[in-house]
Each structure stands twice: as structure tokens, then as C-alpha cells.
Structure 1
Amino acid sequence: MVLQVQEGLLTTSASAPSAVRILVATAVPAERDAVARAFTGDGGVDVIAAGVGPAAAAAATATALATTRYTLVVSAGIAGGFQPEAPVGSLVIADEITVADLGAETPDGFLPVTDLGFGTVTHRPPHALVRELAAATGARTGAVLTVSTVTGTAARAAELRARHPGALAEAMEGFGVAEAAAAHGVPVLELRAVSNPVGPRDRAAWRIGDALAALTAGFGKSATVLESWNWHDLSR
């Protein structure tokens, strides 16, 4: 397999085209490169650095989906983990991808956009695929929250956990990637490596290098599952 780099896009190409083609959308080049290091054999995987935040992620993912036919889209990168369920250095695979701050503040608290009668706030990846990937990688499964403003206080972390008790991690792109995938009728996953706790920001305690290494290892262990999966049965 030859790894190609062009305008922020890393693609894998083999001597013969693969029937399965996967798009992995990360936020920044360091995450993109960590994912790309996992794919050393034949296969059809495109890895993009789509930008930071749900809007940039949605736009870049939708552009890629409009020009290439994909079997699966994966939002990937590092994330903050809710403690103690998702310790620093661990992997998390989303069983739901939920936007946590799309809605309205009211005197009685936050109302998600669905309570206002608009849109959706959650996308659910294929359950059986999540289960098998978790078994292969040792990842924890739970909700991954998408936020436009990263949590920086214990009070905000507690508020998010109260509203989303099944949340394991927060990141900034998953819901945007999932919205683009849904618009094109393509299933979506989110795989994150935890670099820091959700809560007060302590940059000195972040382990970004370890998280990027865990991301590479996670995708390396995922390759066999993704290659052998029955893509005609994603309803399970």
C-alpha cells in the first residue's frame, strides 16, 4: 500500500481497488498522521484533517462524501475523558454521538434543540460494529459528546454528566461528521483516545503524545474487524 498526501488528505492505495472504502475525519494533522500510521497493509482508507469544531468537520466531511463513495465514515482524534470511567490514555468508541450544547438556555436550565422542535441531537453508530470494535481494541463504549467550547471547570463537567450520565468523553467534531454522514446515507463511528480529564484545564497534565499513540494502536487493532465486516448488514 502506498500512502499519499495531497492538500491535507492522506489516502491509501493498493494495486487493486478495495470494495470497502472508509473515510476517517480528524481535526488536525497530528491526529490525521496518527491514524494513517495504523494502515500499513492493503485497503481503501482516506484520512483527512477536517478542521476544529463541528462546522468545519461537517463541511469537510460532506465535501469528501460528495466526491467519493464511502462505506463508512469515522470521526477520530483525541478527547477529554470523564473521570474515572475514561482515564487518560484509554480508548473510547461512541455508542451514541451527541451534541451537548445545541439548544437554548432557559430559566429552568438547558433545552436541547429537539425540545424546541428542530433537528436531532444524537446519531447512533451500528451497535454490533461498535461492540466488535470495542472487543478488538479494548475500548470503552459510551456517549461521546460534541461541544463547541471545551469544558474548563468542574461545575461544567458536572453539569454535562448530569444531563448525559452515559457520557465517557467530549470532543469537538463528532456530531458534525455524523450529520454529514447521515445526509449522505453513510454509517458513522467515533473513536477517541483520551488525552486529558474533562474539567479544569491543566495543560501540564495532558498526555497528547500518549493519546496519539493509543489512537494509532486502536486503529491498528480495528483493521481486521473493518476488513471482515459484513457491510450489507449494518442494521444490527
Structure 2
Amino acid sequence: MKTLVVAATKAEVTFFYQHFNLPEGDFIESKNFDLLITGVGMVATAYSLGQFLNSNKYRLVLNVGIAGCFDRSVKLGSILNVTEDVFAELGAENGDEFLTITDLGFGENHFKSRYKKNIDLPPITGITVNCVTGNEKSIKNLKRRLNPTTESMEGAAVFYACKQESIDCLQVRSVSNYVEPRNKDNWKMGLAIKNLNDWLISFISEMN
């Protein structure tokens, strides 16, 4: 069985495309791995994965992409292993209290990676959001409630889908910016993408 590499956008894996001389497209099959570009956000990710995961031909789903980071001791461009991910906004407000979908009795909001091998990257906890955080009050609330290291818009959706299909999954993120009021001048997007692709190319090459 093969590995399915999953990313939200082509831009995040542009050097991976080039290195393996992959054709244009959002779903690409090759001998040893397939590549799926889902689109941004948990809804697009869940829909795309639903089209491809029920064929039982994948031994591993590898979700890669950039992420914002709450922890300023983590250098921009760092590569991290998101071993736990949480749907941060899935639930209900009860005054100043937030009730998760688990609290409400309607499902799960906290998922863990199903990949057991050591990949020699720092393990961290991430959150998955519909709205990228850029407000000081929201940042403080998320730190207090969940204490995450990173945030993305897809990670927990990948973990959810893989749990439903009992497929091993791994999520690796490269830090492009700190979570703060939006300021693109502070971002290191190019560095984050280069470092992510270097790691991804090496990982896939070593697996095959």
C-alpha cells in the first residue's frame, strides 16, 4: 500500500512537485505515493479525503503544510510533528464558558496521530480553526483554554477522517508566522515552505 500526501494548497508543496517531476493536478498518482490537494479549510479537506480514503490502498496519510505558532521560543521555519490536534471552535458558547462538542455529547474534538514510528521532530499539540487567529483577546482565550503550539485550518479534519477509516496518519507543519494581529511583514512564508519541502522530499524518498 502507498502513502497519501495531503496538502491544502499547491504552493505549500511546490518544490515537492518539482523534485518528483509531478504533473499539474489536484490528485496525482505515482508508483510509491499519491498526492492530494484538498483546498483550504476543514470542510474542503474532509470532502476531498472522503473521495479517496475508502479505497483501502493507503498505509499512511501524511498531512503537510504551514502553520501559525503561539510559542515564540519556536523559530520561524521550524518543522514540527503535530501529534495531537483539536477542533478549537466546534461547540457552543455558554456566557464566557466554551463547551466543546464532546462536552455537549455530540462527538469528538480532540484527535491524536496514529503514526507510531519516531520521525525525530518535536512533538506538539495543534488546533484547527475556521478563522485564523489575529486578535489579542482570542489569542489569550485559546492559550488559556487549549494551550496549543500551532494552528492550522485542516489538521484535525485529517486526523478525524483517518480515524474513521482506521488509517495511520501523520501531520507535519512548518512555522510560517507567529499567531498575532495580522502582519505579513513578520511572516517567513518562503523559509517555511522550503524547509517543509526539504523534509517532505527526504521523508518520502527514504520510505520508498
Q: Tell me if TM exceeds 0.5.
A: yes
Within 5 Å, which residues of 2 pair with 1:70-85? 70-85=58-73
CA deviation string 1:106-154 (max 9, x = no partner): 114111110000111122113632xx11x1xxx3211111000000122
The answer for unaligned runs of 5 or more in structure 1 is 1-19, 228-236
CA deviation string 1:25-84 (max 9, x = no partner): 1111111334445658x9611111101100100110121113461111122111101122
Tell me the equivalent position of 2:53: 65
C-alpha separation in 1, matches of 2:168 and 2:73: 26
- Any idea what SS the aligned residue of 1:111 has? strand
Out of 141, 146, 160, the position equivalent to 1:159 is: 141
Tell me the equivalent position of 1:8: none
- Any idea what SS the aligned residue of 1:176 has? helix
C-alpha separation in 2, matches of 1:223 and 1:32: 13
Out of 80, 84, 87, the position equivalent to 2:75 is: 87
Within 5 Å, which residues of 2 pair with 1:1-236? 20-37=1-18, 44-67=32-55, 69-126=57-114, 128-129=116-117, 132-133=118-119, 135=120, 139-165=121-147, 167-223=148-204, 226=207
Report deviation, 1:202: 0.4
Tell me the equivalent position of 1:4: none
Structure 1 length-normalised TM: 0.77
Compute the RMSD of aligned alpha carbons. 2.1
Report deviation, 1:219: 1.4
Identical-residue share of aligned pairs (%): 31
C-alpha separation in 1, matches of 2:162 and 2:168: 6
C-alpha separation in 1, matches of 2:143 and 2:74: 13
C-alpha separation in 2, matches of 1:193 and 1:57: 18
Q: How many residues align?
A: 200
CA deviation string 1:81-105 (max 9, x = no partner): 1122432111111110211111111
Conserved 8 A contact 2:13-2:197? no
Task: Report the AA paired with residue 216 of structure 1.
Answer: N
Conserved 8 A contact 1:86-1:140? no
Conserved 8 A contact 2:16-2:200? yes
Structure 2 length-normalised TM: 0.87
C-alpha separation in 2, matches of 1:182 and 1:208: 30
Task: Report the AA paired with residue 211 of structure 1.
Answer: A
Conserved 8 A contact 2:115-2:170? no
